[in-house]
Structure 1
Amino acid sequence: MDYVVDLVSGCLQTFQTVYRLFNPKLYAYVLKKTGSAYMAEEVVQLTFIRLWEKRENLSSEYSLSAQIFRIAGTILIDQLRKEAVGKKHLTIVENDYALRTEVDQPEMHHAVEQAIEQMAPVRKKVFKLSKVEGYSYKEIAEMLSISPKTVENHVSQALKQLRAAFSSIISLAIIMSAIIHK
């Protein structure tokens, strides 16, 4: 039976048949790839939604199986990216909370100012123009007669310096907190 032609024409009965045929295979595939029943259910559901929504784009040149699994692969990658971004944001929030509880704000502000003041003059100027005054890399490049890539490099190096300064401050705060709470 040519499921592709029937799906393209919008046959709901064919869609239900295709769903029953491919749902277990697709679920098992995604479960094996991710180890997550939730992710497998989510990807399968989204795959069949997209299959129905984009049924006009199906091709008789390829097997329906290949097209369904390609859709599922794309959705799986999207879902994994979203999950990774979510975890990254959660980590940032958790780190920010830990930082605020371990280090008091005036001390942190002073440490940031000190770290910025220790930067090379051009790097300090570029960093302040970018992060404090909000200029774009292109605007800064024009102001200072340097390339936008140079601006990007200065900001990147400035952020590395700040991260290094913060890590030592946080380490000190954690040690002090452990000593105080003994």
Structure 2
Amino acid sequence: MSDQPTIAALRMGNQFAFEAVFHAFHPKVYGYILQKTHSAYMAEEVVQLAFIKLWHYRESLDPEVSLSAQVFRVAKTTLIDQLRKEAVRSRLLTQGEAKGTAQSESPTENALKRLEEKELAERIQQVVRSMPGVRQRVFAMSRFKGMSYKEIADALSISVRTVENHIAQALKQLRHNIPFF
């Protein structure tokens, strides 16, 4: 089933289509956000903000992309925005209450950090999987298994210089595909 008619109706400002989308996706999006935050209050806030954003930016919805993917992308970016705001708010409160006292990270900061680390790890795995076979193996052996260049060269019957070249190319590919890598 195509989402194009629903997306077209949303883009034209059809409130009935929006209500249908809200009722169809609210439980799924709420569950996703609750799983990430472990806070019913924050999950409800984020879901409400996500659907407000979806309505506000409805004209930019892409009819060629599944509605589910677009709804969850809005929810995910809304969650990240809220976690950042909460982390800043928490940091400012901590600084104001205990000037000069070392404080541990708040649960919100921890959740944001875990989410960002997980997304980065997934993106790295995706880029590594797109590498040519030998480069992929060399990189995995070096970075994921902790093997030295010499050990990799011996295991694959290639020269250490070839291992170095594969690692250099892999890192170049990662930097090209992942900003700030």
When normalised by structure 2's length, the TM-score is 0.52
Which whole-Å CA distance do the structure 1 matches of 2:9 and 2:60 have between them? 13
**Does residue 1:43 correspond to 2:42, yes or no?**
no
| Residues 81-105 of structure 1, C-alpha deviations (whole Å, 9 max, x = no match) | 011111111110111398xxxxxxx
Give the alignment partner of residue 14 of structure 2, picking from 3, 11, 15: 11
C-alpha displacement of 1:47: 0.7
Give the alignment partner of residue 65 of structure 1, picking from 59, 68, 77: 68
For structure 2, the 5+ residue unaligned runs are: 102-181
Matches within 5 A, 1:1-182: 2-96=5-99
| Residues 33-80 of structure 1, C-alpha deviations (whole Å, 9 max, x = no match) | 110111110111001101111100000110011001001111100000
Which whole-Å CA distance do the structure 1 matches of 2:15 and 2:93 have between them? 41
Q: Which runs of 4+ in 1 moved over 2 A?
A: none
Which whole-Å CA distance do the structure 2 matches of 1:89 and 1:47 have between them? 25
Letter in 1 for 2:12: S
Identical residues among aligned pairs (%): 54
Which whole-Å CA distance do the structure 2 matches of 1:3 and 1:44 have between them? 20
User: Aligned residue pairs: how many?
Assistant: 98
Letter in 1 for 2:24: L
For structure 1, the 5+ residue unaligned runs are: 99-182
The structure number with the bigger radius of gyration is 1
Letter in 2 for 1:58: L
Which whole-Å CA distance do the structure 2 matches of 1:85 and 1:36 have between them? 18
Which whole-Å CA distance do the structure 2 matches of 1:83 and 1:91 have between them? 12
SS in 2 for 1:96: coil
